[in-house]
Amino acid sequence: MIGPPEVIYELAQRLITLEGANDLSSNPKSDAAIRVFEKLRIVLIRFGGEDGYMALLRRAIALTRIKDPSLQDFTLSKDGSIASLEQISHETSLTLTTHLLHLMNTFIGQSLTLSLLNDVWPLEN
């Protein structure tokens, strides 16, 4: 199976870095990943509804589990927020973010994906 392109991985890193830039908490990388997912959840629910978001997130989790079986105990709340993200490693949260962005890019296209992301984060194309 071919994974997401490097450019998607770099975009995921960039979003987490943007969220963590002003974070003074004890675990800024984990907290930044949580904020990225929460913002993506809001954007994607607004765009494609809760069912669309949940479908993408469940698939991203399944793809991430291939390389990291520790996600077997990963839990989602009914509204799609991730209850246990703080319990996974930074690398796993980065991989999960990468898969979610890659799925967005695959299903709605690069232009619309970047437009949705630009609504939340100041990205240059």
Tally the domains of the chain: 1
> 53 near 80, Cβ under 8 Å?
yes
The answer to whether residue 123 is domain-embedded is no
* pTM of the complete model: 0.87
The answer to whether residue 1 is domain-embedded is no
The answer to whether residue 20 is domain-embedded is no
The answer to whether residue 70 is domain-embedded is yes
C-alpha angle 99-13-45 in degrees, rounded to nearest 5: 50
Rounded distance between C-alpha atoms, residue 48 and residue 60, angstroms: 16
| pLDDT 10s digits, 78-109 | 777 776 666 778 888 899 999 999 999 999 99
The answer to whether residue 66 is domain-embedded is yes
Dihedrals φ, ψ of 24, to 5°?
Answer: -110, 15
The answer to whether residue 39 is domain-embedded is yes
* Sequence-separated (6 or more) residues with CB below 8 Å from residue 101: 4, 8, 11, 12, 15, 113
Residue 60's domain comprises: 6-15+28-118
Residue with tokens 């509804």: 49
Integer angstrom CA distances of residue 19 from 15, 23, 30, 36, 120:
6, 7, 10, 7, 11
User: What is the reported pLDDT for 86?
Assistant: 67
User: What is the reported pLDDT for 30?
Assistant: 61
The answer to whether residue 124 is domain-embedded is no
